[in-house]
Amino acid sequence: MKRFLTLLVVLLVFVSVFSFNTTVAQDGDEEEERACEMGPVAEDAPVVKIGAAVSQTGNLAREGTDMLNGYLLWLDWVNNEYGGIDVGGECHRAELIYYDDESDSDTVVLLTERLIFEDEVDVILGPYSSGLTQVASQITEREDIIMVQGNGASESIFERGFINVFGVLTPATLYTRSGIELAYEMGARTAVIAYEDAAFAASVAEGAQMWMEELGMEVLAVETYPVEPTDLTAIFTNFRELEPDLFVGGGHFNDAVIFIQTARELGFSPDAFLITVGPSNPTYVEEMGEDSEYVWGASQWESSMDWEDEWLGTAADYAERYEEMFDIAPSYQAAESTAAALVLHLAIEEAGSLETEAIRDTLNEMSITTFYGPIEFDETGKNIAKPMATIQIQDGEILVIAPEEAAVADVIWPAPPWDER
């Protein structure tokens, strides 16, 4: 099995100047241990209130559920195993206050304000999707509240000069890079792109065109479609006539279902389908069955990756913990949500305070490696340290095929036409 960025991880661990489980004393004195003892936090401990708007219903409910599970896994671990959150030498219990945002931006605004003004939360964890993260972060910025999020990848979130929003995930323009480079290596020279008319997917499409242009690939067509699509027949009929080597689709889980269903119905058979969200989720394979075979997906994280930390262990350890808790393998949306909560928790501990400025300063200096990957924020709040991976579904398994140092399987190329499967 090939190892994922082993050298990078080792270097990050050794050059990191940011330590969380202890506080380094001055003048060579011994390090001070955490005030919290391992094990369940005391029931009467003071509370750190953490707020979140979560898509439990609406078109983003599937991914929103994964996100909530990721938050709940961290909550269970920090309160029942890690002893709580050490805030300036006093152990606190973490409390997660969340409401269903119904996958709706107006509701996110109302709920974020409710969390801040009525529930008086100390910090915020982000909602699902770039669009909802953008509107929630407008409120947190205005009210000077820290938001750490793992599900808003669009660069537009970080291009507004905001100082209180931090994203642990790799930005959207990088989602397709390793996949496009692999497709080119396999012989792809033409491509088509379809993307949802939303911030995240637009960034994905922009990035895809940029990587194709760098390689000299010809983009035969770029099509956009409304949020919550129901019929993409016209777009895919046009794509079929163009006969591209590669299809790139930018959207969310439901879009990935429609892409493949429509392609099969119309007999549209490029050498590869590369889709941003969906194929890396274990429920996609369950829902699509054999139709999911050979499909490529962009992935922020997979349990086979070689990342490890002192808090939740390896990527594989995390996956095992998640399956025990929820009886399903984790998607990367779950992992990045846990990572967001972990990063926020560790920043509070290092800051020794719940004050926004102290937490913000700590996040700005952060350089760590977690089970989810390396975390280091630039001046805009983007994580500049973590690469993306590309997966392919093979015999019902989700396997990393790119980049080479992360791959656990050889790519199957080209995918057989629908009528030959």
User: pLDDT per residue over 112-134, tens digit each?
Assistant: 999 999 999 999 999 999 999 99
**Whole-number Cα distances in Å, 13 to 317, 340, 348, 377, 383:** 19, 19, 20, 16, 16
User: pLDDT per residue over 305-317, tens digit each?
Assistant: 999 999 999 999 9
Between 84-88, 371-375, 403-407, the lowest mean confidence (pLDDT) is in: 403-407
Q: What confidence score (pLDDT) does residue 23 get?
A: 36
pLDDT at 14 over 90: no
Q: What confidence score (pLDDT) does residue 266 get?
A: 98
pTM over 0.85: yes
Confidence of residue 33 (pLDDT cuts 50, 70, 90): confident
Q: What confidence score (pLDDT) does residue 405 get?
A: 87
Question: What tokens does 332 get?
Answer: 């990367």
Q: Residues of the chain with pLDDT > 90: what percent?
A: 91
pLDDT at 377 over 80: yes
Domain extents in the chain: 6-170+303-376, 173-299+388-420
Confidence of residue 12 (pLDDT cuts 50, 70, 90): very low
User: pLDDT per residue over 198-215, tens digit each?
Assistant: 999 999 999 999 999 999
Confidence of residue 1 (pLDDT cuts 50, 70, 90): very low
Q: What confidence score (pLDDT) does residue 217 get?
A: 98
For CA atoms 323, 327, 328, 332, give the dihedral sign. Answer: negative
Which CATH code fits 173-299+388-420?
A: 3.40.50.2300
The DSSP bridge partners found for residue 309 are 313
In angstroms, the CA 290 to CA 405 distance is 28
Q: Which of 216, 233, 217, 215 is nearest to 225 (CA)?
A: 233
Which CATH code fits 6-170+303-376?
A: 3.40.50.2300
Q: What average pLDDT does the segment 208-235 reach?
A: 97
Q: What confidence score (pLDDT) does residue 32 get?
A: 60
Residue 259 near residue 232 (C-beta atoms within 8 A): yes
Q: Residues of the chain with pLDDT > 70: what percent?
A: 92
- Reading phi first (left if > 0) and then psi (alpha if -120 to 50, else beta), residue 188 is in beta
Question: What tokens does 234 get?
Answer: 């016209």
pLDDT at 13 over 80: no
